Chain A
Amino acid sequence: MIDILQNYWLLLLVGQFPNGPLGGLAMTLILAVCGIGLAFPCSIAIALALTSPFRALRASAQALVYIVRGLPLLMFIFWAYFAIPALLGTSVPGVVTMLFALVIYESVYLAEVIRGGIQALPAGQTEAARAMGLTHLQTQRIVVLPQVLYNVLPSILSQFISTIKETSLGYVISVNELTFAANQVNSILLTRPFDVYLLLAIIYFTLCFILTSCVRLLELRVERGRKSLRLKTQ
């Protein structure tokens, strides 16, 4: 297995880059970071709609959440794969298709995390803001969201870890990411699938394990920060 790593580490790390398209672990990380990064603002909008005083807005956001959570990610990938080129009239790179599906999927899951955070904030915070004459949106922007986003930071990072694993589904539409690279290695070697896919598992696991440990540290920090309600940052 070490010899596979020695021979193909560059392919697993960056794909054919710089002689061909970027791929491998680098593309996996780019997909996950861009996916969460683009989903984040969308998720805030959905979470605000979910907690909005307007019934119609709440209902439509709720419907979106139900629909997306009730369907597998793979289905979104297929839909994006066939629908986006049909709508745009041109072919679209697999990475963009994958990103599109990820953003839709992750924004809904992140929105649920943020909604939970909004509802967990003591009602007194909103009441105090409204009592001084702030509007609903001012209250959300100035008082609620800064506290909520800090509190749910660990959950957001957890969602990022899930996203890393979900990028492997890009394989089905030939997105050049880590699983795709591993499969290429397997095709070259032909006789050592167990070694190759064990190596793949170890790479995913190591990455996610390190990040999960970061989440745990972050959770402790946020917990402490919440207890002392902010002791530092002057």
Chain B
Amino acid sequence: MTSNNAMIEFAGVNKFYGSYHALNNINAIVPQGEVVIVCGPSGSGKSTLIRTVNRLENIQSGKITVNGIDTQSEGINVNKMRSQIGFVFQQFNLFPHLSALENVSLGLIKVQHLSKGQAQEIAQGLLNRVGLEHKVNAFPGELSGGQQQRVAIARALSQNPPVMLFDEPTSALDPEMVGEVLAVMRELAAEGMTMMCVTHEMGFARDVANKVWFMDQGQILEESTPEEFFKSPKTERASKFLSDIR
């Protein structure tokens, strides 16, 4: 695999919290059009890793390239770079004082400078796509967790980013709502969206992932296809992890 078709490339990435080594020499590639699932025990650095991609977390050394753009370079327009990376949070983080439609159209209006009409038309289309055409004017407080997360996915898609990051998108949901969110994500993957997803949903990983990264103590210990990873994990820590979550 050449790095030409890499959507995200980590090269020698290190991150410290004080003296704690949170990310330890990460070298990895998320190829264009593929789905990478990041899993591992809590505290292993999964969320930290995914948050370094759009610089919600800074790194101390190394290089992260997204869609050909060096995200760490000086003089880069961070806001423009971020607008081209969809990010979905564990806690949804919808803006509670704005309606679903306003949440989704905000970036189009304020970052892409579309007119309100154009932006809301696109937002309407995205809300249809995640099955929430009837909740356009609802406020986040009126929506279930699953519905909120689907609005959040629509919001992350709004500026038409070439890559989507998901940081434990179903972990804060009641079990009966996990399915509706995963369904939207499956659809996205089927449409060829490049996705990097931190999750504990191993069924989803098995069905959708092209690659699984297993992390522990700030390192990527394993990088394999889901078949390999679930059938015969290479490291003892991965097999312990798999037996623990079953």
The interface of chain A, by Cβ under 8 A from chain B, is: 122, 124-125, 127-135, 138, 142-143, 146-147, 150, 228-231, 233-234
Contact at B142–A231, with CB atoms within 8 Å? Answer: yes
Beta-carbon nearest neighbor of B137 in chain A = A234
Contact at A127–B93, with CB atoms within 8 Å? Answer: yes
A135, chain B: closest CB distance, angstroms: 6
B106 interface neighbour in A132, A146, A147, Cβ under 8 Å:
A132
* B10-18, B25-33, B61-69, B78-86 - the one binding chain A: B78-86
A134 interface neighbour in B91, B110, B137, Cβ under 8 Å:
B110
Contact at B141–A133, with CB atoms within 8 Å? Answer: no
Roughly how many angstroms separate A127 CA and B91 CA in the complex, as a whole number? Answer: 11
Give the top 6 A-B pairs by smallest Cβ distance, nearest first: A133-B83, A229-B141, A128-B93, A124-B93, A229-B96, A133-B111
Contact at B97–A147, with CB atoms within 8 Å? Answer: yes
Roughly how many angstroms separate A135 CA and B158 CA in the complex, as a whole number? Answer: 17
Contact at A135–B79, with CB atoms within 8 Å? Answer: yes
Q: List 27 A-B contacts (CB under 8 A).
A: A122-B93, A125-B93, A127-B93, A128-B89, A128-B95, A130-B79, A131-B82, A131-B85, A131-B87, A131-B89, A131-B156, A132-B87, A132-B106, A132-B107, A132-B111, A132-B159, A133-B111, A133-B159, A138-B110, A143-B95, A147-B97, A150-B97, A230-B97, A230-B141, A231-B139, A231-B142, A233-B139
A230, chain B: closest CB distance, angstroms: 5
With a cutoff of 8 Å between Cβ atoms, the chain B residues found around residue A143 in the complex are 95
Residue B76 at the A interface, CB < 8 A? no
Residue B147 at the A interface, CB < 8 A? no
Roughly how many angstroms separate A135 CA and B93 CA in the complex, as a whole number? Answer: 17
Contact at B139–A229, with CB atoms within 8 Å? Answer: yes
Contact at A133–B97, with CB atoms within 8 Å? Answer: no
With a cutoff of 8 Å between Cβ atoms, the chain B residues found around residue A135 in the complex are 79
Roughly how many angstroms separate A143 CA and B95 CA in the complex, as a whole number? Answer: 7
With a cutoff of 8 Å between Cβ atoms, the chain B residues found around residue A129 in the complex are 95
**Chain B 78-126 residues near chain A, CB threshold 8 A:** 79-83, 85, 87, 89, 91, 93-97, 99, 106-107, 110-111
Beta-carbon nearest neighbor of B103 in chain A = A128
With a cutoff of 8 Å between Cβ atoms, the chain B residues found around residue A138 in the complex are 110
A150, chain B: closest CB distance, angstroms: 7
Roughly how many angstroms separate A128 CA and B96 CA in the complex, as a whole number? Answer: 12
B153, chain A: closest CB distance, angstroms: 12
Beta-carbon nearest neighbor of B109 in chain A = A142
With a cutoff of 8 Å between Cβ atoms, the chain B residues found around residue A233 in the complex are 139
Contacts A131-B156, A146-B97 aside, 19 further interface pairs with beta carbons under 8 A come to: A127-B56, A127-B89, A128-B87, A128-B94, A128-B95, A130-B56, A131-B56, A131-B82, A132-B83, A132-B106, A132-B111, A133-B159, A134-B107, A134-B110, A150-B97, A229-B96, A230-B139, A231-B139, A234-B137
